[in-house]
Amino acid sequence: MKIARFSRIGFILAAAGSAVGLGNIWKFPYIAGEYGGGAFVLVYLITVLFVGFSIMIAEMLIGYLGRKDTVTSFEELAPRNSGMWKYAGFQALAGLFVMIFYSVVIGWIFHYIVTSLTYLPSTVKEAETTFSAMLHTDFLTQLFYHTMAFSWITYVLTRGIKGGIEKMNMVLMPTLMIILLGMFAYSTTLDTFGKAFEFMFSPDWSKINSEAFVVAVGHAFFTLSLGMGAIMTYSASMEKGSNLVTNAFWVLFLDTTIAIVAGLMLFTFLYQYGAGPAKGPGLVFISLPAAFYEMGIIGNVFAVAFFIALAFAGLTSGVSLVEPMVQYFIDRFGWSRLKASISMGLFFYLIGIIAILSNIDGFKEQLTWGSRNFFDWVDYVTSAIMLPFGGLAMSVFVGFVMEKQRVESILKPHLGFAFEAWYFSLRYIIPVAMFVVMLGLLGILE
């Protein structure tokens, strides 16, 4: 049977679709606002370039050479201790766990697409009340849209590499970019675009501390889909003879550009209509709808378009988060794609219902431990432990376990003289950075 492979453009769009997710459009702007705008953006860009880019190449390399699921790829590429290294491949579980809350958030976005057609809150306070009511009391609405997200993602997975994942990304990614660029073009005509540009690119170093650096590295991992096996699994279906460095560059370029464009556009709207860079997820679900209201009927159009773009970003990422474990059960246990896709979909869907309930009045008390409820614990464990550990494992594996000659033969023709610097960074700089990030996110470093 002929093995399905991505076309070159199909791989870039699929990998970019994996990287371009809610982290770019939903999370990046409010984190930038919280940590001083331009200062954080600069730290983030440096992190993406010197840490994210290096690990993305390493993750692509493992997938490209392994040609299997993440566990099998580690196992077969390790010249020694393969039985131990296969456990590094279970980083694929991180993506599946992220989907537990990610699917719920995609559901919120679906809900806002529908409501924005006819209703926008007139004030930030009204928007906050509306969002809070949905989050804490409206279980059935959240369940309905969570079910929609599960159904879409599972269906695409059942269609496979070419007929599902590539086909979806070939449609949704260009559409997403057209919507965002159209809204960005409009934002450049507003008086506050200059203020937003200054906020995004004029550093306020007083708000930069060790925590900001840790958050920047952690967010770079989240938004680039690193450390969870998604890029590795997609790379296993890359065409032979592919240029991994060029592919990694394009994925990183699209991911970072969309984050910057989204940030500039959102802050322009918020400044124009009387709001500032709100903290937390309220920027998108509270402050932004109130800003759209001030635009009149065009605000409804922009709100619907924006939430559609946000939904597309979430869905393309969502598929990539589940695919590594789907591929694992296909390769290791001989499951059909249909069985593996439905099983993994039901896993995040059913546990996602618990995540919804952990925010609902009457249930959240029983589903809260310490300072976090179940929803927040899943988010915290994946971002603070699983993703940094995945990055650490990949850098050590490529830098110390795989034969240098094999790594060099694939990458040096494309990296040239920069190969040695990349290799040194992968061995000695990135592992330390990942370890520090993990300690920082766990609260061990203050």
- Is the pLDDT score of 100 beyond 90? yes
- Environment class of 336 (CB within 10 Å of its CB; exposed 0-12, middle 13-18, buried 19+): exposed
Q: Is residue 129 part of a domain?
A: yes
Most confident of 211-215, 282-286, 348-352: 348-352
Q: Is residue 356 part of a domain?
A: yes
Which of 440, 113, 70, 27 has its CA nearest to residue 232? 70
Contact between residue 438 and residue 384 where contact means Cβ atoms under 8 Å apart: yes
Whole-angstrom distance, CA of residue 268 vs CA of residue 182: 14
Q: Is residue 221 part of a domain?
A: yes
- Is the pLDDT score of 217 beyond 60? yes
- Is the pLDDT score of 368 beyond 70? yes
At 240 the pLDDT is: 87
Most confident of 39-48, 153-162, 256-265: 153-162
Q: Which residue has the higher pLDDT, 302 or 4?
A: 302
At 222 the pLDDT is: 73
Whole-angstrom distance, CA of residue 103 vs CA of residue 322: 11
Q: Which residue has the higher pLDDT, 27 or 378?
A: 378
Question: Measured between alpha carbons, how far is residue 80 from residues 77, 394, 398 in Å?
Answer: 9, 16, 13
Query: What digits encode the pLDDT tens for the residues 229-241?
Result: 999 999 999 988 8
Q: Is residue 3 part of a domain?
A: no
Neighbouring CB atoms inside 10 A of 362's CB total 10
Q: What CATH code is carried by the domain that includes residue 153? A: 1.10.4160
Number of domains the chain is built from: 1
Whole-angstrom distance, CA of residue 9 vs CA of residue 169: 10
Contacts for 226 with CB less than 8 Å, ≥ 6 apart = 52, 55, 56, 59, 220, 387, 390, 391
Q: Is residue 1 part of a domain?
A: no
Q: Is residue 446 part of a domain?
A: no
Mean pLDDT of 135-146: 97
Q: How confident is the model at residue 61 (pLDDT cuts 50, 70, 90)?
A: very high
Contacts for 316 with CB less than 8 Å, ≥ 6 apart = 14, 17, 18, 20, 21, 168, 169, 172, 173, 176
Q: How confident is the model at residue 184 (pLDDT cuts 50, 70, 90)?
A: very high
Q: How confident is the model at residue 1 (pLDDT cuts 50, 70, 90)?
A: very low
Whole-angstrom distance, CA of residue 427 vs CA of residue 1: 39
- Is the pLDDT score of 67 beyond 60? yes
Q: Which two tokens stand for residue 292?
A: 């759209």
- Is the pLDDT score of 446 beyond 60? no
Contact between residue 273 and residue 303 where contact means Cβ atoms under 8 Å apart: no
Structural domain boundaries, residue 258: 8-441
Q: Is residue 2 part of a domain?
A: no
- Environment class of 376 (CB within 10 Å of its CB; exposed 0-12, middle 13-18, buried 19+): middle
Least reliable range by pLDDT among 25-29, 267-271, 400-404, 405-409: 25-29
Q: How confident is the model at residue 329 (pLDDT cuts 50, 70, 90)?
A: very high
Most confident of 8-12, 144-148, 220-224: 144-148
Mean pLDDT of 426-438: 86
